[in-house]
Structure 1
Amino acid sequence: MAGMGWLLAVFLHQPMVWAGDLPLRDSQGIVHNFSEFQGKWVLVNYWATWCTPCLEEIPELVRFHAEHKETDAVVVGINREDLDWEALIFFINEVGINYPVWTSPPSAQTVLGPVTGLPTSFLISPQGEVVARQMGKVSKAMLERFIARQRDIRADD
């Protein structure tokens, strides 16, 4: 994790079209969009149950979501496997995931950008802009530092 930084150059301040985001389903079959979280930071984390680094970062994402969901940020997990919902729900409960989990078929390209390996996370600003992409694990501290820096940058604008 040390030395891994957010990849900003390609994604910095690319507007995300909230109305055009791709609808994804949750375990109850309800269709969701990222625009549901407009006004908050949204960490969109693409992952799979077989992915060791994905499993290693889940506790960090759980802590981050628990501390921020009521105020300024949320995590949305996007599972990239062909699992039936019963198996996925069992896994979510087993590892204690407390954030929304939606599903998406595996693809190298997503509405947010490329996903060429797992885990891959995208950070969406409260204004709906993809401001960062990280391939590899993220931590709660990494997220909090990055968001604080983005707030400082925006305050200077």
Structure 2
Amino acid sequence: MKKWIGLLIIIILIGAVAWNSLKEPATEFGLTDEGTGLEKGDTPPQFKLETLNGEPLSLQDVKGKKVILNFWATWCDPCREEMPVFEAYDAKHEDVVVLAVNITDKDVKVEKIAQFVDEYGLTFPILLDKADDVSKAYEVITIPSTYFLDEEGIIQMKINGAIDETMLDLYVKQL
């Protein structure tokens, strides 16, 4: 009987250690909270990803500008609806940078992403999150998810779901 109790205690301890290691935040990107998600006033995790064109781009590269940071995938219908909105906004506003992070490990091949970009005539940077590291660091659960960063690089707002033109204007004015 004592052996079974000892074995049960060991199994419980191993399970507790495994559970804690699975829910560790992505500290390599600067996320150190208790998994509650990024909120207004937080400094977002820094990252460097490759663009669809093969160029490296980091969040640090756009510091000093307002940033719309959108997480998306080609198969996401709400993402398809909002991409023309982001494109039109980006074309009209030089003081705001639109960065679209494709959650590539959950999407189709890179060639299909390129076809999507061509189909929608997107000209803003498309970043490829091939290992899903950045979306994990930002704790993206639903797509589309969009973060609005001010000129100092601080999160001012996060929106889950598609954004239309009126909403986008309103949110950026609040930065």
Q: How does 1:12-31 map to 2 (within 5 A)?
A: 12-16=40-44, 21-31=46-56
Q: Choose 1 or 2 for highest CA Rg.
A: 2
**In the alignment, residue 111 of structure 2 is paired with which amino acid?**
E
| Residue in structure 1 matching 2:91, options 66, 88, 109 | 66
Instruction: Compute the displacement of 1:76 (Å).
Output: 0.7
Q: Deviations over 1:45-83 (max 9, x none)?
A: 110010001001111111111111x2x201111111344
Q: What is the aligned-residue identity percentage?
A: 26
8 Å Cα contact 1:107-1:115 kept in structure 2: no
In structure 1, the partner of 2:171 is 146
Give the TM-score of the pair, scaled to structure 1: 0.77
Q: Deviations over 1:91-148 (max 9, x none)?
A: 211111121101113469544x221111011111110101111110112321221232
| Residue in structure 2 matching 1:78, options 82, 91, 101 | 101
Higher helix share: 2
In structure 2, the partner of 1:39 is 64
Give the TM-score of the pair, scaled to structure 2: 0.69
In structure 1, the partner of 2:146 is 121
Higher relative contact order (CA 8 A, sep 6+): 1
In structure 1, the partner of 2:162 is 137
Q: 5+ residue gaps in structure 1?
A: 1-8, 151-157
1:97 pairs with 2:122: yes
* Inter-partner Cα distance in structure 1 for 2:143 and 2:156: 19
Partner SS, residue 133 of structure 1: strand
Instruction: Compute the displacement of 1:87 (Å).
Output: 2.5
Question: CA RMSD of the aligned region, Å?
Answer: 2.1
User: Number of matched residues?
Assistant: 136
